[in-house]
Structure 1
């Protein structure tokens, strides 16, 4: 194993490079713990759905579910990224931003990466088994989407849509954990999350569009090109409408809609700020969706309490 190098879009000053033992750094990089924004994007639909579903007093069980979903999001995002890196290892070696990932950089063998992915999946299974049987079945169903995602960029210019279907599955899981069903507000949240992902991952994909075009990888960044900003307004507008519908179906108070208006303003600011020809600007705007998630989560909580 060679010494771990810093990945191109890692968080500046990440603990992975400052404190983690050198032997473990390539695996922490595989799990994307040096750039955790993706885990937050996977977590937010879970927490939003939980917040919409807790209609009575907040109980210790609800806090436990919040913890389970957080740990599960980080673990399963790591497993998914490890699997994705195994499948995409040849592509990653040809793209400037991704060639420093552990497999193409020679820090981890494919075999060791596969074992690491299996360990993460085992941890994810243990977490999943803490929920009711309906939620377990819903969670297991998402594996089909996870398995198919790395191949979408080979066949369609809309792999971000498939990612949206995958990353927002937690909108169904959060409600299933509390209600043992999939309520209509969870469906509305799931559909909205698809459009949210189309927005933020299109922004993210603009970092690699030149390399992608050269090696034949497809993305919405290439499909939309100079029409990206108008498309973002459509995606984020549809997401906002779905948030409003979800809140109405969950019978939330007016505070929720005030919070949703603030969230919509945040998304509008993303569209204004992003420069699709500047990779660093795209990454900064993409990362701002962590803060956006807190706005929606707080709005849902306050909408239940008031």
Structure 2
């Protein structure tokens, strides 16, 4: 006969799994690592629920978030060492986010921070990133975060201040209109894949930067970010000239932004996310992920 306590532990964890995934993905930027952390969280949660002497957990949500965040922080060292040997620029694994229902709570509807923001968050320390994500994205108070990461509230406020200054210096606050972003993305792809260099130069900001993450396994990726309109345009023209002839573009929402999914036949070829300049007129950042290992989820969900 099933143990009702075990059933309750499973149900409570399932009820919070989407929130936990969102938080941990924003801390790590990789689905496989996120799934591993959620597995570790379950292995901590289940025995605690089934221990008769442990007593009732007052807030399962708070308990699960604390355990998940600390498992994510413990994994950061291994992740950073792995990225030191990564070939070329490292970008977060793209996540399709247009399937999250409107009825979901805001933290789930905005399942991920934008690709551009995640790139900036990579430059923070693990604790700064945890504090920033929990406070700025998921709305946790500094006192709550202090309990989650085991630091004094004053230390958390200092971490939050440093992280906020660092992030805002590299990415000033502004929110692009999704319709404009979709329109500019379509114009950008039409110029890039159509070989229209003049149109491409018109749409790129003078200080545009392009990141291409192929993990050493894609000819469409460079070994370092490319800066400046002329260099980026030449790189895009070179990549487009070698692209498969059957390339198909599908427009979806990736990490909260209108984006382009490129397919060759039924196989995902690349995911391209653009970042707009504050005036919304030009492309200031291009994030292209073509590492096949990071496109598996895209292919499965299409």
Larger Rg: 2
**TM-score under structure 2 normalisation?**
0.33
**TM-score under structure 1 normalisation?**
0.33
Structure with greater helix percent: 1
Structure with greater strand percent: 2
